[in-house]
Structure 1
Amino acid sequence: MAHPLDHLPIQRMNGAGNEILVLDLRGSDHELAPQEARAIANAPGLRFDQLMALYRPRRPGDDAFMRIYNVDGSLSAACGNGTRCVAYVLAREGKDALHLETDAGVIETQRRADTAFTVDMGRPRLDWRQIPLAHAVEDTRKVALDPPVAGAPAHFSAVSMGNPHAVFFVDDAAKIDLETLGPRIEYHPLFPERVNVSFAQMFAQGDILLRVWERGTGATRACGSAACATLVAAARAGLGDRAARLRLPGGELTIDWRADDHVLMTGPVEFEFETTLDPQIFRDLAA
């Protein structure tokens, strides 16, 4: 029996090095299941950091409803780099400005150039309940990592950009053992929904180097929501201004925390290829 996703087109892009797939399901009634996302990730050439699934808009005035899948099939409420890739896809339909509904709310995008887009990531959430943390803390600008993790800094800044982030400010981000510390902190009992883990090194004013372990994905070349969370954390800690260039292994992002409390992220998109989903991908899944 044919699977609903057999032979559907899927597009591979990257946003500042973040490997993104965009699957347009606006013409289908099928909703992507976690096991289907994992199957796609295991297909040759289709492993991703995030998969952006587009559905028909649920409200008047929106361009699409969007769900974001990590490589392990779990859902993420926010992905700035992936959202820019979606903006690129829909820009080819003549839409330079978008309203995209997600499980975390509406995200707005604006085309800046042929392959550059700005995403309004909304307001950061700074209360311990919103992030969330497992227990109350007096100040989310400086939270003790308790119990401690060997090799990790003792404190971090907690921010939610629709998904939870722990930002550690370090003297030398290159020396961080990301593959070891990332998963230990992601699954730390302090984070009931797990957490994205960032190690940030401050340079001159407005210049931040960032390495990220992404919840449900692992070490990644870029993470837009982590870049936003890091800028917010640095500004709250008095380490930098409310606008900066974030340098990640895959490229650069410009983050601006505006006076209206919205965080804007601007960066590039690169189209890599389009293919169709091979029915063999889903042969072990029930239709």
Structure 2
Amino acid sequence: MTAREIPFVKMNGLGNDFVVFDAREKPVRLTEAQIAAIGDRRTGIGFDQMIIVETSPMGVDAFMRIYNRDGSQVDACGNATRCIGRLVMEEKDIDRATIETNAGLLKAFATDSETRVTVDMGEPRLEWHQIPLAEEFRDTRAIELQVGPIDAPVLHSPAVVSMGNPHAIFFVDEDADGYDLARFGPLLESHPIFPERANISIAQIVGENEIKARVWERGAGLTLACGTGACAIAVAAARKKLTGRSVTVHLPGGPLFIEWREDDGHVMMTGDTDVEFFGTLDLDTLAWAREEQGAA
């Protein structure tokens, strides 16, 4: 490996995939254009988010910096927290780790499975100015926003929740797969009501405490799974009394188990992680090579 080559690990949580760089000993600095090029699934490594692991300024186990595929930086990513939590716990041979993010401190916990990780995502933010929204809504269980004709909207009245980043959730009675989220997502993501853009979800109650959902992530598009999205969906469903406080959210990439605890209001998320492979990236050319297969 040359001086301009840096190692990385490719991981995913239920198909929500990440390229992870370790910058705890040597900084990793990339421009938005470079990040977007690395994230391109045709010509680059390909990812939903890029993660840079740094030394925590607060002295906890690690700091996690998160970038979307378009190069924009975001404050939280639940599936990435589970993946980084697994890496740190395996590295340090511990059963719990504290990960610092721009959204605050998140705690990851080992489970009875080597690949399954639980993360305490903290308390949801439910007030309009915390999400944030561009105007006041006293009840964020359903805000005035719709897609389609006024008298016959295709989607309307989403619940809004922040889990470190803003989410708008449209609950539907029909099959969640029947909505063209690839078309609606980019329009709603950048709606003026969301000054920081928003992640857009379509959710359907499919059984007692069972939810089927799809998520359009700001800056990344349709993803196979979204951890903060699953948490936001679970909180919104409980607030609307559609489910209890412990639910399974079925995403295209698989299930996430979400509990919104009553005692402290924290949201716990549990799901699988996967190490796909290890590799190296040339910082000058952005050429990359797969070095070693990962382990589930």
Pair in the same fold by TM > 0.5: yes
Instruction: Give the equivalent residue in structure 2 for 1:56.
Output: 55
Q: 1:95 to 1:51 in 2, by over 3 A?
A: farther
SS at match of 2:155: coil
- Give, in angstroms, the shift of residue 282 of structure 1: 4.5
Preserved contact between residue 127 and residue 138 of structure 2 (Cα < 8 Å):
no
Give, as a single letter, the amino acid of the residue that structure 2 aligns with 1:164. Answer: P
Gaps of 5+ in 1: none
Counterpart-to-counterpart distance in 2, 1:34 and 1:120: 30
CA RMSD of aligned residues (A): 1.7
- Give, in angstroms, the shift of residue 272 of structure 1: 0.6
What is the total number of aligned residue pairs between the two structures?
277
SS at match of 2:207: coil
SS at match of 1:143: coil
Counterpart-to-counterpart distance in 2, 1:281 and 1:262: 44
Counterpart-to-counterpart distance in 1, 2:229 and 2:194: 16
Question: Which stretch shifts more, 272-281 or 47-56?
Answer: 272-281
Counterpart-to-counterpart distance in 1, 2:51 and 2:217: 16
- Give, in angstroms, the shift of residue 281 of structure 1: 3.6
Give, as a single letter, the amino acid of the residue that structure 1 aligns with 2:40. Answer: N
Preserved contact between residue 37 and residue 44 of structure 2 (Cα < 8 Å):
no
- Give, in angstroms, the shift of residue 32 of structure 1: 4.3
Instruction: Give the equivalent residue in structure 1 for 2:136.
Output: 136
Instruction: Give the equivalent residue in structure 2 for 1:258.
Output: 261
Question: Which stretch shifts more, 220-229 or 91-100?
Answer: 91-100
Preserved contact between residue 149 and residue 184 of structure 1 (Cα < 8 Å):
no
User: Are 2:183 and 1:180 aligned?
Assistant: yes
Instruction: Give the equivalent residue in structure 2 for 1:95.
Output: 94
Counterpart-to-counterpart distance in 1, 2:213 and 2:61: 32
Counterpart-to-counterpart distance in 1, 2:73 and 2:154: 27
User: Are 2:19 and 1:21 aligned?
Assistant: yes
Instruction: Give the equivalent residue in structure 2 for 1:39.
Output: 37
Counterpart-to-counterpart distance in 1, 2:56 and 2:156: 44
So what's the TM-score if we normalise by structure 1?
0.92
Give, as a single letter, the amino acid of the residue that structure 1 aligns with 2:38. Answer: I
Instruction: Give the equivalent residue in structure 1 for 2:108.
Output: 109
Preserved contact between residue 38 and residue 44 of structure 2 (Cα < 8 Å):
no
Higher relative contact order (CA 8 A, sep 6+): 1
Question: Which stretch shifts more, 247-256 or 271-280?
Answer: 271-280
Which residue among 9, 13, 18 is the counterpart of 2:7?
A: 9
Counterpart-to-counterpart distance in 1, 2:239 and 2:285: 46
So what's the TM-score if we normalise by structure 2?
0.89
Instruction: Give the equivalent residue in structure 2 for 1:121.
Output: 121
Counterpart-to-counterpart distance in 2, 1:272 and 1:126: 36
Q: Percent identity?
A: 47
Preserved contact between residue 99 and residue 106 of structure 1 (Cα < 8 Å):
yes
